[in-house]
Amino acid sequence: MLEEHAKIIQFIGAADGITGRKKLQKMVYIAKKLDYPYKEKYEFHVYGPYSHELTLRVEELCNMGFLQEDRQDKGSYVQYKYQMTDAGEHFTQMAQVEEAAPALVECISQMKNKSSRFLELVSTLLFFDHLPKEEQIEKLHAVKGKLNFTEEEIADAYEFVMHLMNMRTIH
């Protein structure tokens, strides 16, 4: 029952809270692309890969009181912070979802430490991972031209993906 919901609570719990809807979207997407068991469907959107299903799940979990959403007014925009509640923790135990693997917990922690701009870059490259590397980069510039990602940032993004993949293998 609501196993996918429970996995999202667990994800946010493992991160000890996530600030920013965009960041949450990209973190789950990257984890999914690394073959961690998330079922949310993604499509390409304003800020890269985006899952309507994930948005819905998070809203439902907030309504149920299993996640807490805090709005932070940043002047020109509003930022949202999500945290697991005690009721949410209890629910994940009741739902009997498998405990998050150590590699996943580490992956979540490392993604959390990155900026949402960087995660947008990583997830966009991963969205085009069926293409050869040069075409991925070409596509990135076509859809994210306004963000002016530098060669260095792109190289860092590839390195980060390799690092996360190696971590998954080692664990």
Partner 1 sequence: MSYATQKLAEEKVFKDPVHRYIHVRDQVIWDVIGAKEFQRLRRVKQLGTTYLVFHGAEHSRFSHSLGVYEIVRRIVDDSFNGRPEWDASERLLVLCAALLHDLGHGPFSHAFENVFNLDHEEFTRKILLGETEVNEILKRVSKDFPQKVADVIAKTYGNKQVVSLISSQIDADRMDYLQRDAYFTGVSYGHFDMERILRVMRPREDQIVIKSSGMHAVEDYIMSRYQMYWQVYFHPVSRSAEVILTKILHRAKALSKSGYDFAQQPTHFQGFFDGTFTLNEYLALDEGVLMTYFQLWVNEKDPILADLSYRFVNRKLFQYIEFDLAKDYMKMKELELLFKKAGIDPEYYLVFDSSSDLPYDFYRPGEEGERIPIHLLMPSGEIRELSRESEVVEAISGKRRTDHKLYFPEDFLTEDGKKKALKKQILDLLK
Residues that bind partner 1 (CB under 8 A): 1-2, 20-22, 25, 39, 41, 43-47, 50, 52, 55-56, 59-60, 63-66, 74, 76-80, 91, 94, 127-128, 139, 142-143
Q: Least distance (Å) from partner 1 to the CB of residue 15?
A: 17
State which residue, 51 or 108, has the beta carbon closest to partner 1: 51
Q: Least distance (Å) from partner 1 to the CB of residue 17?
A: 17
- The closest of 142, 165, 135, 171 to 31, measured between CA atoms, is 165
State which residue, 59 or 159, has the beta carbon closest to partner 1: 59
Measuring CA to CA, how many Å separate 77 from each of 17, 96, 130, 139?
20, 38, 34, 28
Q: Least distance (Å) from partner 1 to the CB of residue 139?
A: 7
State which residue, 96 or 113, has the beta carbon closest to partner 1: 96
The one-letter amino acid at 113: N
How far apart CA 56 and CA 37 sit, in angstroms, is 18
State which residue, 45 or 163, has the beta carbon closest to partner 1: 45
Give residue for tokens 């890269």.
Answer: 48
Q: Least distance (Å) from partner 1 to the CB of residue 152?
A: 24
Asked if 18 contacts 112 with a C-beta cutoff of 8 angstroms, the reply is yes
State which residue, 76 or 169, has the beta carbon closest to partner 1: 76
For residue 6, what is the enclosing H or E element?
helix 3-14
Q: What share of the chain is helix, strand, coil (3-state, %, to 5)?
A: 60, 15, 25
Q: Least distance (Å) from partner 1 to the CB of residue 44?
A: 5
Tokens of 101: 């693997």
